[in-house]
Amino acid sequence: MVKGNRVALIGTGFVGSSYAFGLLNQGVADELIMIDLNEEKAKGDVLDLNHGKVFAQQSLNISFGTYEDCKDVDLVVICAGANQKPGETRLQLVEKNLKIFHSIVTQVVDSGFDGIFLVATNPVDVLTYAVWKYSGFPKERVIGSGTILDTARFRFLLGEYFQVAPQNVHGYIIGEHGDSELPVYSSVDVGGVAVLDMIKKHPEYTQEDLDDIFVNVRDAAYQIINSKGATYYGIAMGLVRITKAILHNENSILTVSTLMEGEYGEDDVYIGVPAIINRNGVREVIELNLSEKEKEQFARSADVLREILKPHF
Tell me the DSSP string of 30-65: SEEEEE-SSHHHHHHHHHHHHHTGGGSSS--EEEE-
Annotated binding site for substrate: 84, 90, 122-125, 150-153, 231
For residues 143, 187, 238, 8, the Cα torsion angle rounded to the nearest 10 degrees is -20
| Residue positions forming the annotated binding site for NAD(+) | 15, 36, 41, 67, 81-82, 103, 120-122, 145
User: Could you give the maximum distance between any two Cα atoms of the chain, in Å?
Assistant: 61
Please give the Cα distance from 299 to 265 (Å, whole number): 8
On whether the CB atoms of residues 262 and 238 are closer than 8 A, the answer is no
Beta carbons of 138 and 106 less than 8 angstroms apart? no
Partners of 21 in the β-ladder: none
177 catalytic per annotation:
yes
Q: In this structure, are residues 255 and 174 in contact, taking their beta carbons and an 8 Å threshold?
A: yes
Rounded CA separation 154/170 (Å): 9
Active-site residue among 177, 202, 248, 312?
177
Q: What residues form the annotated binding site? A: 15, 36, 41, 67, 81-82, 84, 90, 103, 120-125, 145, 150-153, 155, 170, 231
> What are the CA-CA distances from residue 17 to residues 35, 49, 102, 197 (Å)?
11, 9, 22, 42
Query: Active-site positions?
Result: 177
